[in-house]
Amino acid sequence: MTDQSQIDALRDKPIPPQNLLIDGELCQSASGATDDVISPLNGALLTTTPAGTKEDTERAIHAARRAFDDKRWRGMPPAARKKIMLRWAGLLEANMLDLAVLGVRNNGTEIGMALKAEPGSAIATIRFYAEAIDKIYGEIAPTAGDVMGLIHKEAVGVVAAIIPWNFPLMIGAWKLGPALAAGNSVVLKPSETASLSLIRMAELALEAGLPPGVLNVVTGEGKIVGETLSHSMDVDVIVFTGSGATGRRLLQASAASNMKRCYLELGGKSANVVFADTKDLSEAAAVSAAGIFRNSGQVCVAGSRLLVERSIHNDFVAELAKAAAAIRVGDPLDLTTQAGAVNNPTQLAQNLAFVETAQAEGGTLYHGGNQILQDTGGYFMEPTIITDVAEDHTVAQKEVFGPVLAVTPFEDEGGAIRLANSTDYGLAGGVWTSDLSRAHRMVREMRTGVVHVNTYGGPDVTVPMGGVKQSGNGHDKSLHAFEKYFDLKTAWFKL
């Protein structure tokens, strides 16, 4: 059990200037330029990361290609790759608290959530895919007796993984676990505002025995590193979690280069639907509040739209506001904190602008809506509830990615389904009801990749995560994630 004194001992631990990882070597950018790493906790300088250049990125891609072509990793027996990945997971576990605190100082997630969702989740994910390595088989097709059809699963090649800032270790592991287990080589590009824990994670992979060049890390701006990766003729697959605008640019770059496959998770505007027959409305309110306000709303599946049956609307919103008011926002390195910092000042300004727009369009600021704790120098915002939100309001249609909840009433089940499906997104959603048949109908009718029933959040690595519509394509987590990282090859024998 982690106690506060252990966390406090790491709170101000000096962080040396960081490095790129290319072909097994730690190095600085070819230009020598660096980027400042600013903590969202207090606005202070933490360290620097190399400002990766096109040259750096191309070197990393070429290193990954050489590692793939000479089979130093994919040519290993699966059981040997498994041992290295399990050793890696063990090193992550041994450094779990350091990784969690490092990540919190970098991205602002509250430590209670970070311990579980960051190193905790990453460790479980790497172990899951390590254990799967020697259990993935090809197939024999059902053919006539004088022929035989074999279906081989082969590693795709070089994977570029572009990771966001909200949960870098968790989402990074969702990409790295299956990509590496399948035998591919990877170039990893962390977010400019949350690189530190991923750099350390990659260093531990080397320590575990991952061969040089198999995992490379290039930090820097998306318009340089990301553009180089997406236009490269030597990258076979891009996996990305982030904004729709960037996802579109990646697709365009793929078409303009080698038509590399792009798997995109582009966020959501997830509807959390509460029916009047919900068994425990107080519990539903508390869980719904956590489902949008934890990590300051910086969760891709956050239940950012609350659809409430009109007969209970006023009472439920009042209960929700009580739950929101009880959430302790503050120092992310305090174990009693329930919601930490907004990752960066640009995101904070965007959150506040959404609140202003919501009111200008006719919404009512029911709770919160303000920046708080300015005296810390950090970036904090109170949980915010906007009521009287119409279907076409900006806050009902656009992803805020902050602690802002849009509330809309509905009349009946048909109205709830129509509202739930009324955005361009389709990542997640939730349904609260005591009617089992209704729950099944809602699961079928909501056009999302994930539907939570009488809860919100919590699925682990055993189930797939992915969206429909403009929330993206492909799946992270579960054995289905391997589909992105294998090619199928048919061998046809005349007997």
Q: Is 193 buried (19+), middle (13-18) or exposed (0-12) by CB count in 10 A?
A: buried
Cα angle 296, 299, 304; round to 5: 80
Q: Which of 120, 122, 118, 111 is nearest to 6 (CA)?
A: 111
Q: With contact defined as beta carbons under 8 Å apart, do 185 and 214 qualify?
A: yes
* Phi and psi torsions of 239, nearest 5°: -120, 135
Q: Which of 135, 129, 126 is nearest to 208 (CA)?
A: 126
Q: What number of CA atoms fall less than 13 Å from residue 322's CA on the CB side?
A: 12
Distance separating alpha carbons of residues 285 and 320, to the nearest angstrom = 5
DSSP secondary structure string for all residues of 415-439: HHHHHHT-SS--SEEEEE-S-HHHH
Whole-number CA gyration radius for the chain: 23
Helix (H, G, I), strand (E, B) or coil at 318: helix
The amino acid that residue 301 corresponds to is V
Distance separating alpha carbons of residues 30 and 49, to the nearest angstrom = 13
Helix or strand holding residue 359 (H, E): helix 345-360
> Can 265 be counted among the known catalytic residues?
yes
Distance separating alpha carbons of residues 302 and 158, to the nearest angstrom = 32
Instruction: Choose the catalytic residue: 300, 319, 382, 399.
Output: 300
Distance separating alpha carbons of residues 229 and 58, to the nearest angstrom = 8
Site of tokens 């962390």: 190
DSSP secondary structure string for all residues of 281-300: HHHHHHHHHHHHHGGGG--T
Helix (H, G, I), strand (E, B) or coil at 383: coil
Helix (H, G, I), strand (E, B) or coil at 5: helix
Cα angle 418, 434, 321; round to 5: 70
Site of tokens 């236009």: 231
> Can 300 be counted among the known catalytic residues?
yes
Q: What number of CA atoms fall less than 13 Å from residue 254's CA on the CB side?
A: 18
Positions marked catalytic? 265, 300
